[in-house]
Structure formats: structure tokens, C-alpha cells
Amino acid sequence: MFRATLIALSFACASVATADTRVPQSQAEISLGFAPVVKEASPAVVNIYAKIVRQGRANPFFSDPFFRDFFGGGSAEPRPRVQNSLGSGVILSQDGYVVSNYHVVGTATEIRVVTTDRREYSAQVVLGDKESDIAILRLQEADDLPFLELRDSDQVAVGELALAIGNPFGVGQTVSSGIISGLARTGAATGNARGYFIQTDAAINPGNSGGALIDVNGDLIGINTAILTRSGGSNGIGFAIPANLVAEFLRQAQEGNDHFVSPWAGMAGQHMSADIAESLGLVIPLGVVISDLHPLSPLADAGLRVGDVVTHVDGDEVNSPAEMKFRMSVAGVGGTSVLTRLRGEESSDLEVALVRAPETPSADETTLDDQTVMPGLTVSRVNPAVITRLGLVLSQTGVVVVDADRYGGRSGLRVGDVVNGINGAQIEHPQDIVDALTDPGRRLNFDILRGGRSVSLRFRL
């Protein structure tokens, strides 16, 4: 939509074949700098004010009657507290679809969106995903809004000029310039080991989250989401979620999905290190080594096995599990992807179906009632869909805590805990937990698996 006709300094991007730019024709055009593209693009970048209600901590003194009376009464129950969140967003369509970060609005109870011309809209999250840190909002009673076109982020090149637009520190809409300084950034250095980001040196600060990273044509390259910093401010290394993934989120939101559905690989993999490459007889460390496959994995159906190396997905090189997930997520559920497999010295292409994580066996999700000692506790049988949702290990089986609720949380249970036994009785199905917590006696002993470690919870009722 926003194609600036006067773009200064665009000669720096002339080598990028996909960018529709031209060399400035006069000194007057050069003197304008980035003003024309900012003027066109900035109305599509909004400020977001979100109200988040968080459960406060219980006051331990109020559990004791003496201190409760001494301080004039009070309750040991934790009190909710309201936290205000500030961020940015980008309008993606005329009818009011806006993208921001999940950490800005994902758990908000009230969202207010303000445009550059001071119009205010109420908004609600229609689709969000914590892992990807993306949320799609829908503005209420909005129409004929300015919006940004999504660029094919696979065509972005290191060295391109880029502009970051957002609301850092709440000072108002601000523009900073830089270049694309890296691509396909993954790993703990980005602050999200599962993420896949475009890196820029354009200044990104708190409040910029959810804002736009655009090219010199005003097209959206990515959504600013994180910085690498020791001081809390910008040190010249910022990360943006690629526009291609944003486009898939927008498509699913417009189709009515209330949660993001990404293809299920059913595999665990690891980055190819020099040592692993040497052990496999490879000259150059390249690709992702498959370390585990679920029996229902579509990769296994296609002929891959543990020890194979995946080097490309749909022709794009991959060097980490996060890159594989990104490429398959962009392709979307329902189609196929071509994976290039390296087994020994033989390379071959395999077509893999892009499917949802299967609900096999049935989850049989169960919420305990008042007839048990932990009403509100919700548990489920583990299956691939549950493994994906809770981030469990690929080989996990059994019964897992989906929601600890009030009483389960007080007892020390957490979401993701796999319950192996209660008072010595083996747990294999959610109904087993219902039975074990109905009139269990005066003592409870939970044997659980938490993060790969065995934990025992013991307490009196």
C-alpha cells in the first residue's frame, strides 16, 4: 500500500532485486531523508495500552490469627493487582486487524488502541500464541483504516536499510533507522530459544514491542519483539518476528481460528555441531539432526528416521529445530512440505504432510468437582496435542495437570506436572485421579514428574 515515491538513500538497497526502489533524482529528494516513507507508513502503527490483572501473593502473617488481629483484620487470600502494559501494534487490514506481541496483550483484560490521529478504539485478542509471541487484535467499530503491506520476509537481505516505528518508553511514536544486521536468528541469545527472528541495529527499546520494522518502501518486514541488552536499553541488537509468520497468523485470524494451529512435526532435533558433523562423516556442519521421532510423526510416515539430517525445507536451508518449525508454520496446516534428507552420503527429497498434532489417544480432560479434595484441578491424558500445548517431552505418556486451580496450586502442583501416583496408587487415566482424591484420608502423597525430574509432594489434609 505505502509506496514512497521519494526515497532517499535507497541506493544502499539497489542490490536487492526484490525491492522496488530508485536512486534519488535530486538534492531535494536526498534532503528529505526518510520523511516520505515515514509519513506514509506511520499512520498504520498504533500505541497499545493494556490492563492486566495478576494474582497477588498471599500475606503469610494473615494466616496467623494473632497477626491478623494485631494488624486490624485482613485476609490471607492473595489480592489481585492491576498492571498496565504499554506497547505498539501494526494495522494489517482496513477493517481493523492489528498485530502486536503476545507479551503485551495476550493476557490483558482491557485493551485500548490509539492511532496517530488520536482516535481510540477498544480491541480484543482474537488469536494469540505465547510461544511465537504474536497476538492478532480486532478493533471494534473500525473501518477504512490505513494499513501496511506484508513483504515476503524470505527476500530480505542483510545490509538493507530498515526503520523501526513504535512507542518506546511511552514518549510517543518514534522512528529509528538502521540496517538488517542478521537473519534466521535463533537460540537463547535472542531471549527465546524457540523463536526465529530477523536482527536489526535500528534502536528498539521497551514500548517498541509489537511495533513495525519496515523497509525503504514502507512494507512490513517484521514485528519488533525483543532486544539483547544488559542495561535494559537498546544496545544495537534487536529482533523482529518475520512478516511471513505474521501473514499466517493473520490468515488464520481472518478464517476464525481462536488459537494458532501450526503443523506438527512429531520430532526432536538438535543443531548440527562440528563434532556431530565429523561423527556423521560430513565436511560442513549443516542441517538438523533428528534425535527422536514420535510413532505418529508425519516425518516417520514419509520415511525419515532417527539419525537422519534435514538440511532444507521447501528449498530453504534450516540449521535448527526452530527454523524447521518456522518454515513448516509458514506453509500452514493442510498442505505438504518437501524436506531434503541427508542419510550418510545420500541426499533425497521427501514430501511430508503438514498435519495438526493428533488427539490420539483421547485426552479425556477432566475437571475435579466438590466431591474431591481438590475441586477445580484439571487433568488430561497425554497425547501429541497435549505434548505440543504444554511443551512436554516427545515420549511422555500418562496423566498431566492442565490447570492446578486454587487447591491444586496451594498443594504445590503446577501445569505440566505428570502425575504418576497418589498414595501409592498408580495413575494411568484422569479418572484414576478422581478416584484417588475422593475421600483419600488425612494424608496425600503425590509422585509426579516435573521437567524430567521425579518430585514427591506430601501434606496433611
* Residues forming the active site: 103, 133, 209
Which amino acid is residue 119, in one-letter code?
R
Which amino acid is residue 291, in one-letter code?
S
Phi-psi region of 434 (alpha: psi -120 to 50; beta: other; left: phi over 0): alpha
Contact criterion met (CB below 8 Å) for 135 and 128: yes
Contact criterion met (CB below 8 Å) for 209 and 104: yes
Cell matching residue 123: 480491541
CA distance 331 to 339: 12
- By CB atoms closer than 10 A (0-12, 13-18, 19+), residue 266 is buried
**38 beta partners:** none
Cα–Cα separations (whole angstroms), residue 129 to 103, 137, 257: 10, 12, 12
Q: Which residue has the cell 492486566?
A: 52
**135 beta partners:** 100, 128
Contact criterion met (CB below 8 Å) for 76 and 141: no
CA distance 195 to 323: 8
Phi-psi region of 4 (alpha: psi -120 to 50; beta: other; left: phi over 0): beta
CA distance 94 to 234: 32
Mapped onto helix, strand or coil, the DSSP state of residue 307 is coil
Phi, psi angles (nearest 5°) of residue 367: -110, 125
Omega within 30 of 0 (cis) for the link into 361: yes
CA distance 449 to 414: 11
CA distance 9 to 179: 12
Phi, psi angles (nearest 5°) of residue 156: -70, 140
